[in-house]
Amino acid sequence: MFHKEGHKIIFITLVLVVGSFFLIDEFITNEWLRKGLMITLLVFFILILQFFRNPKRRTHANHVQALSPVDGKVVVIEEVLENEVFKDKRIQVSVFMSPVNVHVTRFPISGNITYSKYHPGKYLVAWHPKASEENERTTVVVENDNFGKVLYRQIAGALAKRIVNYAKVNTQASQGADSGFIKFGSRVDLFLPLDADIKVALNQKVRGGETVIAEVK
């Protein structure tokens, strides 16, 4: 199953790859070179398919846990000052996504969407300390009675050129449901209340919509 954001790119890539196969077969006479080029194109197409895959996840929706919004590796767990919305200290948990990870963004909790904003910006590498404030990004806040307000921020990386955000203010978010997509390498920051009980560790691999990031104490 592939994400709808990839349908156009997958189709265009398929047409180009098939067309290239015919050209290579017609004009390249060297057997090893012809096979090598065809294999390279095939591998490239498989990578595109992998990037836009959208596997189903077994989300056990509940009101006391915040789930990982994306697949990837935990690269930050620290207390920080969140300056855009809360203007106070929060626990930040950041998940870095490599190009081979699933890039679907999912709602970490259920609740009412109280804030959703897009920010144009730079394309620093996603793990850069200033990427959270200077890169192209979207910020979304979801609120419920158990967690209060939880903020997650999609951040473009050096390769990401488009962030897709489906979250709309005053609509209901469903935990684990599709909330957006980031194309080609990125990270997501999750800002949680200071009393949240963090359930992940640095460098731990997580799965969007399944891995528990934190619980209400």
**Helices 31-51, 7-27: inter-axial angle, 10-degree rounding:** 180
d(CA 158, CA 160): 6
* Structural tokens at position 162: 């488009």
d(CA 185, CA 141): 22
154 Cβ contact partners less than 8 Å away, ≥ 6 residues apart? 105, 137, 138, 140, 163, 165, 180, 182, 186, 188
* Structural tokens at position 104: 């679907």
The DSSP call for residue 5 is G
d(CA 182, CA 125): 14
Residue 103 has a CB neighbour count (10 Å cut-off) of 30
> Which position among 94, 110, 116, 186 bears the catalytic label?
186
Indicate if 174 belongs to the active site: no
Q: What is the dihedral of CA 72, 51, 126, 76, to 10 degrees?
A: -10
Catalytically active residues, by annotation: 186
